[in-house]
Amino acid sequence: MPRPPAKNCVATNSGTSALFTSLNAVGVSAGDEVIVAPYTFIATVNVILLHHALPIFVDTDPETFQIDARKIEAAITDRTTAIVPVHLGGSAADLDTILAVAKQHKLPVVEDACQSHLGEWHGRKLGTWGDTGCFSFQASKNLNCGDGGAIITNSDEWADQCYSFHNQCRPRRTSSREAVATSSRGGNFRMTEFQAAILLAQMTRLEDQMQTREQNADYLRGLLKEIPGIVPAKMYDNCSRNAYHLFMYRYQKEHFGGLPRKRFLEALRAEGVDCNAGYGMLNKEAFIKNSLASRSWQRLFPAEALAKWEERTACPANDKLSEEAAWFTQTTLLGPRSDMDQMAEAIRKIQKHAGDLAGGTPLHAPRPGPVTRGLT
Ligand SMILES: Cc1ncc(COP(=O)(O)O)c(C=O)c1O
């Protein structure tokens, strides 16, 4: 069966702009609630706050690192205006369950596909399932041009809305400045010609790199699952292609003589393996509480709703995951297969010497590490 492409694309200057623009198009506004994953990059939540809406976090499925779609329905209220699942790390959130709940409650779905270029669900591209799909081309991404983004959608109506919002309220289908604007609000969130030119060149090697990542990730998964205490993230059965922006796994310190995750990652870096601890408990971050305490939110939401927000958005599974998670980033998966052998070997070595490391004895002096890449 041919894979249906998205009918429309609006190119933006970042993934954040793509999400911000999409939320406006599907009608998110001040005083609304938006359902979102807590295990994600901060931008997914910032765009909700920028619309003066309330982020409602739904806990994470620790097996997959994705939003636990089975818990979305219970979070819906009469203020809910959109669902924003994130296809974290390039793997897919459980779209079947998300789309069924969204359909039942007539809610739009904005897919945060910022990490999942060419990823698939049931053989169809991520980003084409929801009302809109948002991509990032920021420097760390599998497809990048320094900074940049895109919105794809099969709806002409959403495309018109997105275009107008990202281009100062000007309409998509005419160059006339006199024409009536499609969007009631807008700004400049356009991609530049320079970003587009770089992207066109980058796209020529995306598929090749994708295949290298997939082969290395499959091989690495096979090696790591033999190591007790290293639990690679699972994919949902219907995720037919993982973009492997991240190789995510859980580190269970009880299998490493109690060696704290921080020390495990330091030891791994000392062995020359680039790695990091991943995201945290976004639902507990101060910037959200500051927003809720501010005059705008106090005016927009009943005091009782704001008082109950913390309890309502508690995510115990995500809290635990945030303490166990570890990642390798996509560039690590672009090397030769021997790199994967060395990564697994380094972990086995740390496990063997975990007792010494827990007692403070380094395996050897830290080497100058690989280039540190920021969290994405
Ligand atoms: C899941 C996710 N959402 C949103 C963004 C925001 O994209 P950008 O940095 O292009 O604004 C990123 C990446 O940075 C991301 O990883």
pLDDT score of 358: 80
Question: Where would I find the beta strands (DSSP E) of the chain?
Answer: 8-12, 33-36, 54-57, 60-61, 66-67, 80-84, 110-112, 120-121, 124-125, 132-136, 149-153, 230-232, 246-251, 325-329
- Does 363 score more than 70 pLDDT? no
d(CA 134, CA 149): 7
- Does 19 score more than 50 pLDDT? yes
d(CA 140, CA 143): 8
d(CA 285, CA 274): 26
Give the residue, 137 or 181, on which the prediction is more confident: 137
- Does 220 score more than 70 pLDDT? yes
Structure tokens at 117: 């270029």
Give the rounded percent of residues in the chain with a pLDDT score beyond 90: 89
pLDDT score of 122: 97
**Ligand 1 pocket: which of 16, 23, 151 to mutate (most atoms <8 Å of CB)?**
16
Structure tokens at 151: 């919105």
Average pLDDT estimate for 55-73: 98
> 116: closest CA among 371, 331, 330?
330
pLDDT, one tens digit per residue, over 191-204 is 999 999 999 999 99
pLDDT score of 373: 37
- Does 188 score more than 50 pLDDT? yes
Average predicted confidence (pLDDT) for the chain: 93
pLDDT, one tens digit per residue, over 309-355 is 999 999 999 999 999 999 999 999 999 999 999 999 999 999 999 98
Structure tokens at 334: 């672009």
Q: Is the pTM of this model over 0.85?
A: yes
Structure tokens at 316: 């115990």
Alpha helices in 178-205 (DSSP H): 193-203
Using the mean position of ligand 1's atoms as its centre, give its distance from the Cα of residue 21 in Å.
14
Using the mean position of ligand 1's atoms as its centre, give its distance from the Cα of residue 242 in Å.
17
**Position 175 confidence tier, pLDDT thresholds 50, 70, 90:** low
- Does 177 score more than 90 pLDDT? no
Contact 132, 25 (CB under 8 A): yes
d(CA 330, CA 98): 27
Average pLDDT estimate for 353-369: 70
**C-beta 14 within 6 A of ligand 1:** yes
pLDDT score of 25: 95
